[in-house]
Amino acid sequence: EDQVTQSPEALRLQEGESSSLNCSYTVSGLRGLFWYRQDPGKGPEFLFTLYSAGEEKEKERLKATLTKKESFLHITAPKPEDSATYLCAVRTDSWGKLQFGAGTQVVVTP
Amino acid sequence: DAGVTQSPTHLIKTRGQQVTLRCSPKSGHDTVSWYQQALGQGPQFIFQYYEEEERQRGNFPDRFSGHQFPNYSSELNVNALLLGDSALYLCASSLLDRMGSYEQYFGPGTRLTVT
């Protein structure tokens, strides 16, 4: 059975303190790994799609990487506005059903 | 460019009632997926509509049904509501590309509370 596990469940950072979030997956045929950001009570906001091991993508203070078993979301010098829940999801078929992890809640304090 | 819109924003229903949630996809998108997100959990896939037909379905009972209209908008219907149906219901739209390059964009969600 396909599984997506995110760690840690929660992360508290000081402003400027860089860190990484982990998304490990066990799936039968990855056809895309997606990272989303979700603010409380709102819908997920698309960040990145990664398709193959070794791929990296960056956006402002965020950088996503992918290996054959896991993905990392690196947050460099975070600011309080980076506080959110970060979700990863995998796609394993051509129709696009996403299977999500439970998310990592990030709090960045000034 | 309007993004994905959903209505209503919030809804309170009584156990046993029926509810209809609505979604308009992002301009240019032809596929709509629905997800249920319980508090503190990741979204769970309910079903996906393409060309007005249900193409995929997750592990949800038949009480959950949907529809897609010719303009690509969609409805999610839930019958015989249970307390456990209380959740944030998310609609996501995408442009189906079987070559693999596409993303799902989510709406703001409808918060359903069943009392």
pLDDT of residue A108 exceeding 80: yes
pLDDT of residue B98: 59
**Reduced to 3 states, what is the DSSP secondary structure of residue B84?**
helix
CB atoms under 10 Å from CB of B72, counted, come to: 21
Spatial contact of A43 and B42, defined as CB atoms under 8 Å apart: no
In the block, tokens 């209380």 appear at B86
Residues of A in contact with B103 (CB under 8 A): 34, 46, 49
Band (B3; pLDDT cuts 50, 70, 90) = very high
Spatial contact of A82 and A61, defined as CB atoms under 8 Å apart: yes
- What distance lies between CA B115 and its chain's CA centroid? 21
pLDDT tens digit string along A71-103? Answer: 999 999 999 999 999 999 999 887 778 999 999
Signed CA dihedral, A38, B101, B33, B47: sign only: negative
Mean pLDDT of chain B: 93
Candidates A7, A25, A33, A36, partner chain B, best to mutate (most B CBs within 10 A):
A36
Give the amino acid at A19.
S
**Reduced to 3 states, what is the DSSP secondary structure of residue A82?**
helix
Give the mean pLDDT of A28-42. 93
